[in-house]
Amino acid sequence: MTAPPRAASGLLLVCAAGVVWGTIGPAVAIVGDRTSLSVLMMGAYRSVAAVLVMVAVVAVGRHWTTCRRLLAEAGGRAVLVGLLTAAFQMLFFVAVLATGVSVATVVAMGIPPVLLLVLHAARDRRPPSVPQLLTVATALTGLLLVTLVGGGHAPGGETTVAGVLIALASGSAYALSAEFGGPLTKTYGAVPTATATLSVVCAALVPLGVVAALVLDQPLTTSDPVAWSLLVYLGVVTMALAYVLLFAGLRTTSSGNAVLATLLEPVTAVLIAVAFLGEALTLPGVVGSALVLLAIASLGRQLEEPEPK
């Protein structure tokens, strides 16, 4: 059965967000090589750039009325989604430091589809269907192959229980941000939802980045023009644009399908590492990438057009 056009286009938008997010790692790595900025300070600058762009988009698109209505009617949920988004980003950075890139990526990106599958089964009071289980299993197998043994991600640390638990918390925060953000974007649209959410993220990350830099005696800024251009890219493209794509996709795509589709992020990161950073792609990496793509392609056969609200 062919997926309804609106649902299929929503899935494509989420896939696009996953591809864009796949460029974060290489860009952050370059900034890290050229400066002494911490990842938290990078996140702070990134969130500022994202909010400035979203404010400009709101002004040009005349979304102020909808933004005010969102804050008046669902401000609490918007703050919750923003805090969950900030938490998942901050916890992921901590998990990487505690247990390495590979394990943190597998755990943080592997738990969201499983968690949402369980939550939706409990909400609907029926077990997941066989196609859903097969899709999640295929995607997670591909993620394991791509991230742990497929190249593109150096281990970067020793696996610890604390690091795994932090990565679990990061992935859970991401899953819940998609779950709670879906109703917002269905009612108020992608741009107002992204603007409200990213404003909360900025309010959380900027003070944290500055305080951490001062306490750890790390630099607050840099004079490197390449680093600044990449920080702007990280904010404008991988944050502002990516979250508009994600929220636009969530208008017609379930949160469970959305978190599966964003598994394109590690696949994209691996391909960039192979194409531009001289890393080798192993056979497990090829197989893993194919499995992730197969799982995402299978979502098109499971999509259902949501009921209008």
Give the residue from 100, 85, 97, 117 showing the smallest Cα distance to 21.
85
Sign of CA dihedral 235, 236, 240, 243: negative
Average pLDDT, the chain: 86
The Cα-based distances of 250 to 138, 238, 255 in angstroms read 22, 17, 7
Decide which of 183 and 129 is more confident.
Answer: 183
Q: What was the pLDDT predicted at 148?
A: 66
Mean pLDDT of all residues in 81-87: 95
Q: Please give the average per-residue pLDDT across 104-117, as a whole number.
A: 85
pLDDT at 155 over 60: no
For Cα atoms 81, 88, 271, give the angle at the middle one, nearest 5 degrees. Answer: 120
Distance CA 35, CA 55 (A): 28
Model confidence at 304: pLDDT above 70: no
Burial of 45 (0-12, 13-18, 19+ CB in 10 A): buried
Q: What's the pLDDT tens digit per position in 167-223?
A: 899 999 999 999 999 999 999 999 999 999 999 999 999 999 999 999 999 999 999
CA separation for the pair 114, 137 (Å, rounded) = 9
Of 100-109, 121-130, 164-173, the range with the highest mean pLDDT is 164-173
Among 129-143, 150-164, 195-209, name the one with the lowest average pLDDT.
Answer: 150-164
C-alpha–C-alpha distance, residues 108 and 148, integer Å: 13
pLDDT band at 301 (very low <50, low <70, confident <90, very high): low
Eight-class DSSP state of 153: S
* E strand or H helix that includes residue 91: helix 64-99
With 50 as the cut, is the pLDDT of residue 152 above it? no
Please compute the mean of the pLDDT values over residues 218-240 and round it to a whole number. Answer: 96
Q: Which residue has the tokens 């390495």?
A: 100
Q: Are 12 and 296 in contact (CB under 8 A)?
A: no
- In 68-101, which positions are buried (b, 16+ CB within 10 angstroms) versus exposed (e)? eebbeebeebbbbbbbbbbbbbbbbbbbbebbbb
Residue 103 pLDDT more than 80?
Answer: no
* Two tokens, residue 52: 């400035």
Q: How far is the first Cα of the chain from the last one, in angstroms, to the nearest whole number?
A: 24
> What global pTM score does this model have?
0.86
pLDDT tens digits along 54-79: 999 999 999 999 999 999 999 999 99
Do 284 and 239 form a contact (C-beta atoms < 8 A)?
no
> Residue 7 above 90 pLDDT?
no
Question: Residues near 24 by Cβ (< 8 Å), separated by ≥ 6?
Answer: 234, 238, 265, 269
Distance, CA of 57 to CA of 74 (rounded, Å)? 21
Closest CA to 176 of 168, 164, 186: 168
Eight-state DSSP code of residue 236: I
Indicate the pLDDT class of residue 289, thresholds 50, 70 and 90.
Answer: confident
Q: How far apart are CA 227 and CA 233, in angstroms?
A: 10
Alpha-carbon gap, residue 155 to 149, rounded angstroms? 10
